[in-house]
C-alpha cells in the first residue's frame, strides 16, 4: 500500500451469526472475556469485538480488524487458545459468516 492508501484504509469487519443451545448460553457468556483477552494477546490487528443477542437463541459477533490480512491470519489460527476454544465450543450452529469494510472513520 502506498502512504495515501494506508492513511485512508478502513478497518475490516467480521460478522458471524450463530445459534447457541439455551443451556449453553451461560457458557458462551462466561467464555467471552477470555476469548477477547486471547484475541488481544494473540491476534495481530484485532481492534475489538461486540456480541449481540438476537431472537431465537441466535447471536451476532461483530469483530473489527485493522486489515483483511489480519482477519485472514486470525481465521487460519482458529481456536488455538483456551479462551477462544471455550467460546467456540458453546456454539451449536454457524448460520453465516461475512466480511466487510467500514465506511466511516
Pairwise CA distance, residues 95 & 10, whole Å: 26
Domain count, the chain: 1
User: Which 8-state DSSP code applies to residue 46?
Assistant: E
Kindly state the helix (H) or strand (E) to which residue 33 belongs, with its residue range: helix 25-42
pLDDT attached to residue 103: 86
**Within the chain, which residues score under 50 in pLDDT?**
1-5
Give the domain extent around 12: 3-101
pLDDT attached to residue 78: 95
Read off the CATH number of the domain in which 48 is found. 3.30.70.100
Pairwise CA distance, residues 27 & 20, whole Å: 10
Amino acid at each position: 500500500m502506498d502512504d495515501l492508501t494506508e492513511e485512508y484504509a478502513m478497518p475490516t469487519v467480521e460478522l458471524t451469526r450463530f445459534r447457541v443451545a439455551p443451556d449453553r448460553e451461560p457458557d458462551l457468556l462466561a467464555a467471552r472475556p477470555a476469548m477477547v483477552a486471547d484475541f488481544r494477546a494473540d491476534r495481530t490487528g484485532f481492534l475489538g469485538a461486540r456480541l449481540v443477542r438476537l431472537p431465537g437463541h441466535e447471536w451476532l459477533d461483530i469483530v473489527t480488524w485493522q486489515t483483511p490480512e489480519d482477519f485472514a491470519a486470525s481465521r487460519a489460527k482458529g481456536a488455538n487458545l483456551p479462551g477462544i476454544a471455550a467460546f467456540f465450543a458453546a456454539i451449536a450452529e454457524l448460520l453465516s459468516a461475512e466480511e466487510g469494510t467500514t465506511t466511516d472513520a
